Amino acid sequence: MENNARSKKILIVDDCIEIREALQEIFDFEGLQAISASDGEEGINLVKKERPDLIICDITMPKKNGIELYQELLLDNKIRNTPFIFLTAQAVKKDIKAVKLLGSVEYITKPFNIDNLLEIIYRLLK
């Protein structure tokens, strides 16, 4: 683990409990503080309450999808620059295009390589 990432808070927003639990376990092992939400609305509430250092978010979720969540974050000057990673099974061209239009976010498809994900996380947390 890289020292500058110690005690950084990562929010995981995914409707799949297995993904949330697996990432939380990996991040705990890495010394990263992980919190999680099961849908976009809960994710927005946690972002505003917890002010995470980085957000990992699925796209297809109930109540508010990941793109809607990210667009809402862009409206808040206090949290709009929080590093953001879309982690999704949706490798749909329209989603990739929509994400690219949103600006500088990372887009990773499931299944993913955990070492690659950690590399991106540490780069964004620098």
Is the CATH code 3.40.50.2300 the one for domain 3-125?
yes
Q: Which residues pair with 88 in a beta bridge?
A: 109
DSSP state of 68: H
Reduce the DSSP state of residue 61 to 3 states and report it: coil
Whether the bond between 83 and the residue before it is cis, its omega within 30 degrees of 0, is no
Q: Could you state, in order of their start, the residue ranges of all structural domains in the chain?
A: 3-125
pTM > 0.75: yes
pLDDT of 60 > 50? The answer is yes
77-88 pLDDT per residue, tens: 888 889 999 988
pLDDT of 24 > 90? The answer is yes
